[in-house]
């Protein structure tokens, strides 16, 4: 006779055995969760503190930027006020410097080399009109109109703008010309 063992599919017949399996599965899951949660919680706490430091640092930086912007605005106002207040003094000093920097010997050498042999300068009155412009008023004595024209053409070739103010004949027969020269120079 064959004895057959009955297959018992009802798991509820041995509740303690089933309960132990599910409890151990639950404990294994809980321990895994704790093991995974511990480093995650540690990282969260650590980086939360660092994030709080970064937020505080950003707030300090923003505050410092606002202070710097206010200081910059104040400095700009002070600079503008000083510029307005000292403009005349600065312009005076700059004009003195420009007068010192200008090569007067070069100007006089140029005028002398441009003069024909029979002509000469009776008077010379230079004036720095602005930062880059020179005005010179000359009184030139020439033996003839051709010599005067030769002198003026040489000056035109040297980039002088010429304006004849007046002419007259002297007792010695010389042509006396009042000439205004304007010269733009590079600074």
CA distances (Å), origin 167, targets 13, 127, 164, 172, 182 = 142, 22, 8, 15, 19
Asked, for residue 176, whether it belongs to a domain, the answer is yes
CATH of residue 123's domain is 3.30.1360.100
- Let me know if residue 25 belongs to a domain: yes
- Whether 43 and 118 share a structural domain: no
| Joined tokens for residue 17 | 């055995």
Is 39 contained in some domain? yes
**Quick check: 140 pLDDT over 60?**
yes
Contact between residue 176 and residue 141 where contact means Cβ atoms under 8 Å apart = yes
Per-residue pLDDT tens over the stretch 81-117: 988 888 888 777 776 666 666 667 777 788 888 888 8
Identify whether 149 is part of a domain: yes
pTM of the model: 0.45
Which residue, 45, 77, 101, sits at the end of a domain? 101
Mean pLDDT of the chain, nearest integer: 81
Give the model confidence (pLDDT) of 33-55 as tens digits: 989 989 888 888 888 888 889 99
153 and 175 together in one domain: yes
Cβ–Cβ under 8 Å, residues 134 and 102: yes
Q: Using the 3D structure, point to which of 45, 68, 101 is the last residue of a domain.
A: 101
- For 46-91, the pLDDT digits (tens) are 888 888 899 999 999 999 999 999 999 999 999 999 888 888 887 7
């Amino acid at each position: 006779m064959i004895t057959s063992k009955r297959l018992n599919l009802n798991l509820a017949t041995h509740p303690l055995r089933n309960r132990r399996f599910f409890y151990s599965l639950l404990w294994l899951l809980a321990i895994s969760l704790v093991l995974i949660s511990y480093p995650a919680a540690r990282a969260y706490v650590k980086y939360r503190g660092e994030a709080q430091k970064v937020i505080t640092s950003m707030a300090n930086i923003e505050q410092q930027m606002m202070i710097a912007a206010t200081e910059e605005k104040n400095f700009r106002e002070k600079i503008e006020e000083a510029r307005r207040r000292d403009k005349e003094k600065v312009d005076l000093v700059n004009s003195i410097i420009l007068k010192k920097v200008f090569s007067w010997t070069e100007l006089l050498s140029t005028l002398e080399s441009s003069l024909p042999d029979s002509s000469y300068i009776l008077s010379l009155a230079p004036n720095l009109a602005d930062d880059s412009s020179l005005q010179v008023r000359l009184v030139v004595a020439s033996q003839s109109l051709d010599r005067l024209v030769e002198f003026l053409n040489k000056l035109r070739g040297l980039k002088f703008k010429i304006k004849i103010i007046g002419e007259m004949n002297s007792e010695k027969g010389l042509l006396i010309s009042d000439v205004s020269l304007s010269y733009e120079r590079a600074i």
